[in-house]
Amino acid sequence: MATARILFLAIISLIGLQQAALVNATFASRMKCTWGFDNCQIGDDAVKLILNKWSGAAIEGFGDFLYGYIDMRIKLVPGNSAAVVTTYYTSSAWTSKESDTHDEIDFEFLGNVSSDGSEFYYTLHTNIFVNGVGNREEQFRMSWYNPTSDYHNYTIFWNPYMVVWSVDGNAIRVFRNYEDQGIPFPKYKPQKVYTSIWNADDWACQGGAVKTNWTYMPFVANYLNYVENVCPYSGPNSVQVCNDPSNWYFNAQYKQLTADQLKTMNDIRSKYQVYNYCTDTKRFNGNFPPECSKPQY
């Protein structure tokens, strides 16, 4: 299987990668358990998160960052994983529910009653929050590969121009920066990396119709090979430092996907996308969020 470095090259065509060496971080050196300590196992460069009737589990990164590249390999819960949610995301700090202004970039994997090639596939759920506002969901039926039989790379790339979600080196979604046209973009708040596993049988499987079957517990998600190349945040001055155009991710080749990447992404989206908030006329009654009228890639 291709290494994370090779996948990084494939994702964003890094002609000048020598300018920005990847950091071979490990889960043990960069992450800590924050919930469900009995269900959270961190090895040198491997993590096992477990969900049972009593608890799920979560880990988070030690350091904050603004912009960069994050990649990890994940093998999702096999078999009947109905209503089991496995996550991998970045988020800035929450202040309070009453005045939430956090930013967040999400991968969520929604389990189903089977993962053996039947009609009941995992759903890959993506979202992005800016200033506490999300509601930008896109979902994919994970039927072009089996996410439970082997490890697959999931990548978040975030720079001042765009956010890119990728699977095994193939971009599946882009959110562009139109801040100059009044559309918020995550640019100033430092974020951390998080992963978790938890039960969401009130909504996560077929709209909440299918509940978690606890006879199949424990539900186990496995993670390998954490890699990052980010701009570390060490205080308010880091906002200026990380937004300095001399940083590697400001280079012209990072402004948009290549023609080949666009072709692959559009093929995945045309075949496997099952929900796009920008086409949900019933939800928005025709008054779509402003970014929906802008080209994203």
**Active-site amino acid positions:** 104, 108
Residue 261, Cβ neighbours under 10 Å: how many? 21
Residue at token pair 């400001």 = 250
Where helices occur in 223-292 by DSSP H, the ranges are: 237-242, 259-272, 281-284
Find the range with the poorest average confidence among 4-8, 100-104, 208-212, 274-278: 4-8
- The SS3 call for residue 254 is helix
Average pLDDT of the residues in 98-125: 82
The answer to whether the beta carbons of residues 129 and 101 sit under 8 Å apart is: no
Residue 266, Cβ neighbours under 10 Å: how many? 12
Find the range with the poorest average confidence among 17-21, 220-224, 258-262, 286-290: 17-21
| Token pair recorded at residue 186 | 């995550």
**Residues in a beta bridge with 68:** 158, 230
Residue at token pair 């990396």 = 193
Residue environment code for 206-224, b if the CB has 16+ CB neighbours within 10 A, otherwise e: eeeebebbeeebebbbbbb
State the pLDDT at residue 25.
76
pLDDT > 60? residue 10: no
pLDDT > 80? residue 93: yes
Task: Assign 55 a pLDDT band (cuts: 50, 70, 90).
Answer: very high
Strands 57-61 and 192-199, bridge-based pairing = antiparallel
pLDDT digits (tens, 9 = 90+) for 127-181: 999 999 999 999 999 999 999 999 999 999 999 999 999 999 999 999 999 999 9
Residue 166, Cβ neighbours under 10 Å: how many? 26
State the pLDDT at residue 116.
52
Average pLDDT of the residues in 196-223: 86
Question: Phi-psi category of 252—alpha, beta or left, where left has phi over 0 and alpha has psi -120 to 50?
Answer: alpha
pLDDT > 80? residue 85: yes
> For the chain, how far is it from start to end, CA to CA, in angstroms?
28
Task: Give the separation between CA 64 and CA 270, rounded to whole angstroms.
Answer: 35
